[in-house]
Amino acid sequence: MQKLEPVAEKYHASLAQLVINWTMNQPGIGCVLVGARNEKQVKDNAGSLQFKLSEEDMKLITEAADNFSMEEALHAK
């Protein structure tokens, strides 16, 4: 996730907004289901619709997702 923080900052977005936006723009995706426990989370999720990721950033996020390891993430904490 640390690799994605500069990308999120570039778009003035949260990491959640960045990931939702990226997911919406994957080939074959018709909708994205996201959860929210309160009004603030609903507004935050809706913010993912406020920007368009560049092709370069889409590739960077895809690469980060492809290389993600849950084991490494757990050890990083």
pTM for the whole structure:
0.83
Q: Which two tokens stand for residue 4?
A: 């994605």
Q: What whole-number distance in Å separates Cα of residue 71 and Cα of residue 33?
A: 26
pLDDT digits (tens, 9 = 90+) for 26-61: 999 999 999 999 999 999 999 999 999 999 999 999
Output the pLDDT for position 1: 78
Mean pLDDT score, 9-13: 97
Q: Mean of the per-residue pLDDT values for the chain?
A: 91
Q: What whole-number distance in Å separates Cα of residue 26 and Cα of residue 47?
A: 18
